[in-house]
Amino acid sequence: MDGRAAGAAGTRAGRRFAALAAALVLVFFMSFALGRYPVNPADLVKILLSQLASLISQALPDGVPFPSGFERTWAEAAETVTLNVRLPRIIAAAAIGAALSAAGAAYQGMFRNPLVSPDILGASSGAGFGAAFGILMRLGYFGISVSAFLFGTGAVLTAYAISGRSRRINGILAMVLTGMMVSSLFSAATSFIKLIADTEEALPAITYWLMGSLASIRMSDIAFAGVPIAAGLVALLLLRWRINLLTLGDDEARSMGVNTARLRAAVIVCATLLTAASVAISGMIGWVGLVIPHFCRMIFGHDYSRLMPASMMFGAAFLIVVDDAARLIATSEIPIGILTAFVGAPVFVYLILSGGAGNEY
């Protein structure tokens, strides 16, 4: 590709990124106005800016003047709904959508397989067991999230440790097979917990949690999951150039001076942090990390320098929209994991039939 063609491709990619960023901002702010309790757009802007001004004022040293925000002209109920219900939910949907999409894209590149999803090494199954165990032990909401995160991380560490000891199977295949084994083991353990759980309280709670939902998200949950999600996203953004080399195969990557074992371990750590933290606060949300990277490849190409940030933004916007639908299309809220399956499966069939989900590596 000559310089002129490369410049034109860069311009097209820049325009697509701008359109994607604008769509993300649009759905983010539009979601505040959607719901059974309507919030006036003008009041919404005032509430958000006043809250932002208050946070900045509190962060500044004493004696430093700063505007306190708008004069209070909105109803208290509007502020409560905006700040305590919709704000944490929308932030969580954006963060989880970006995390799952980034983890899926990273794993697909690392394994050189377009059918790989973020739970390939057992993170989701491990987190599901951890949450079921926490509910059974009555650990409380925060304890359940911590348990889910720890077991999700432990499942991946177990799969990685076992696959590393394999002598007759190559590393990537050994990880896939071990991940399948660990996922099956934790799924069976979760089924056992459901079998012995109290049918009046614990079993319905476990069943609902496994369906995935953002209905109970609070700012404390975002504070808990925000650190591992932010760390994983930033790290994958920094590694996106090197993930391109993993898609070429180990021999080619090593010939370019890349320590493939260390890079693969770094990608696994990042993807595990993203998946385990997301599942810990939202439950099981499937298809996002499988389908979204394919859409982004069709729009932005296979270069991970563009694919990774595009997957993050697209995934964030997608899950915000799906969560809006989950709380609006029926009188009672639909678990978001059900909707992502209803949306993701037909879309993936379309990608297969149109050639957008072929063997890309």
Q: Residue 230, Cβ neighbours under 10 Å: how many?
A: 15
Predicted TM-score (pTM) above 0.85: yes
Residue from 172, 128, 191 nearest 154 by CA: 128
Q: Give the C-alpha separation, 290 to 286, whole Å.
A: 8
pLDDT reported for residue 96: 97
Alpha helices in the chain (DSSP H): 3-33, 41-59, 76-80, 87-111, 123-136, 140-164, 171-196, 202-211, 219-246, 250-255, 260-282, 288-300, 304-328, 336-354
pLDDT by residue for the chain (361 residues), tens only, comes to: 555 655 666 688 889 999 999 999 999 999 998 888 888 888 888 888 888 888 777 777 766 666 666 677 788 888 899 999 999 999 999 999 999 999 999 999 998 888 888 989 999 999 999 999 999 999 988 899 999 999 999 999 999 999 888 766 667 888 889 999 999 999 999 999 999 999 988 999 999 999 999 988 999 999 999 999 999 999 999 999 899 988 887 778 788 878 888 999 999 999 999 999 999 999 999 899 999 999 899 899 889 999 999 999 999 999 999 999 999 988 888 999 999 998 888 887 887 777 665 555 5
Domains of the chain and CATH, by start = 94-354 (1.10.3470.10)
Phi then psi for residue 140, to 5 deg, are 90, 165
The length of the chain in residues reads 361
- pLDDT tens digits, residue range 118-142? 989 999 999 999 999 999 999 988 8
pLDDT reported for residue 283: 92
Residue type, 108: Q
- pLDDT tens digits, residue range 319-353? 999 999 999 988 888 999 999 998 888 887 887 77
